[in-house]
């Protein structure tokens, strides 16, 4: 368990004025990592830390490779956090920073592998009802963390436009599928967990060791082509309906920054309890997180985006630690920089749905936007953004930055 220390003190202030704004995503108590360079330059991307509306370049600190940083043990990562905190706190000598508005970003690390889980039980039930009204939740769901191996090469950073994909679509009344542009582009409201120190092939780790292997979280939008997905996913699961693009925030919020927002991990009364390898008293005491999640949409005709949905990571049926532990339980070797998606995190209420598929009842109930437009799924030119933050009385608000993407027409 990551313990609280002086870096979580809500009264601590930074000499960077923007970091003291109560609305900032990046106060002194956050210190998220990124990979950046000066806007419009051909410089190599460098490891940086966000503070207010600025970036601290860590290349002068001897930190030149994000994956190498992620491989460090927790004690070393906490020592670095303390050093960053002391460098940026009020009263410390000012050092050179780059305004975030003058930077461009890339993926924060090398992503060797990407696995997407299915930890949102409310999403699983809602989607299941659309296809299996009498049996929405498959019998293994409450026993095993479900996941599939995604495509790491098409993970892109916030702000990267995505092309509407083409694929095979099988209309219900057709004798054969057709190859066409998807008409049902959807978002999925997720967080992504970046692996820190890995494990050797054939050497799993226990649930109480999982925190040592967790580096931090990012926002993640698992874009989905809902008309391609049902035709191709049987019997082996998601494929081209998912691999055309996954958008992440450029920022990694460390597990140390999120320590104040841990919650007890509990299951509803009467539900199966996790098997022993996915359970422990320590895990039950602190494995859940209170992180607010939001979906925002702006169409080409709108001046400002509108919030479509709001949910919370506390609704996840499987914890981040269980995702890690189960992934390695067969001896699979996780590596620094591997990305694990949570799956769509929907809440129990209709307005807490984490996808358009749920918000529109499978496209049968269009959403009416403030300007009178309607949407079931995304049209060309639509911009979809995810936001997330954690807040709690007595602590500074910690945010995740932007996770935005715009849909371009199919080729």
Residues sharing a CB contact under 8 Å with residue 394, sequence separation 6 or more, in sequence order? 10, 260
Contact by Cβ (8 Å): 218, 400: yes
DSSP notation for 222-253: --EETTTHHHH-TTT---HHHHT-EEE-S-BE
Catalytic: which of 6, 82, 102, 123?
A: 123
Cα 201 to chain centroid, rounded: 26
Contact by Cβ (8 Å): 10, 28: no
Angstrom CA distances, 224 to 79, 312, 379, stand at: 40, 21, 13
Q: Residue 123 catalytic?
A: yes
Contact by Cβ (8 Å): 339, 107: no
The three-state secondary structure class of 19 is helix
Contact by Cβ (8 Å): 243, 162: no
Residues sharing a CB contact under 8 Å with residue 411, sequence separation 6 or more, in sequence order? 163, 166
Contact by Cβ (8 Å): 243, 150: yes
Catalytic residues: 123
């Amino acid at each position: 368990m990551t313990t609280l220390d002086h870096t979580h003190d809500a009264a601590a202030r930074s000499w960077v004025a923007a970091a003291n704004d109560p609305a900032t995503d990046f106060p002194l108590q956050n210190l998220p990592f990124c990979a950046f360079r000066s806007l419009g330059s051909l410089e190599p991307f460098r490891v940086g830390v966000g503070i207010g509306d600025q970036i601290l370049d860590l290349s002068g600190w001897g930190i030149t490779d994000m994956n190498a940083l992620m491989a460090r043990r927790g004690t070393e990562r906490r020592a670095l956090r303390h050093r960053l905190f002391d460098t940026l706190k009020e009263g410390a000598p000012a050092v050179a920073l780059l305004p975030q508005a003058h930077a461009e970003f890339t993926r924060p690390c090398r992503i060797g592998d990407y696995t997407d889980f299915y930890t949102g039980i409310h999403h699983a039930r809602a989607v299941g009802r659309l296809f299996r009204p009498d049996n929405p939740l498959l019998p293994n769901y409450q026993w095993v963390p479900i996941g599939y191996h995604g495509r790491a090469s098409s993970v892109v950073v916030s702000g990267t436009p995505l092309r509407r994909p083409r694929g095979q679509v099988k209309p219900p009344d057709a004798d054969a599928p057709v190859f066409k542009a998807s008409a049902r582009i959807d978002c999925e409201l997720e967080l992504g967990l970046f692996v820190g120190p890995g494990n050797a092939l054939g050497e799993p780790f226990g649930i109480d060791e999982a925190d040592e292997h967790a580096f931090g979280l990012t926002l993640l939008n698992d874009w989905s082509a809902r008309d391609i997905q049902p035709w191709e996913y049987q019997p082996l699961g998601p494929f081209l309906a998912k691999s055309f693009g996954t958008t992440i925030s450029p920022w990694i919020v460390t597990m140390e920054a999120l320590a104040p927002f841990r919650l007890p991990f509990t299951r509803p009364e009467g539900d199966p309890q996790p098997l022993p390898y996915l359970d422990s008293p320590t895990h039950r005491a602190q494995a859940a997180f209170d992180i607010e999640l939001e979906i925002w949409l702006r169409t080409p005709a709108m001046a400002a985006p509108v919030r479509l949905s709001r949910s919370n990571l506390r609704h996840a049926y499987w914890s981040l630690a269980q995702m890690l532990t189960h992934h390695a339980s067969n001896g699979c070797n996780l590596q620094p920089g591997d990305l694990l998606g949570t799956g769509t995190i929907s809440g129990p209420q209709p307005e807490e749905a984490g996808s358009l598929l749920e918000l529109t009842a499978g496209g049968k109930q269009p959403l009416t936007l403030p300007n009178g437009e309607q949407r079931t799924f995304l049209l060309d030119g639509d911009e979809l953004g995810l936001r997330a933050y954690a807040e709690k009385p007595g602590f500074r608000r910690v945010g995740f930055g932007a996770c935005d993407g715009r849909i371009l027409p199919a080729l």
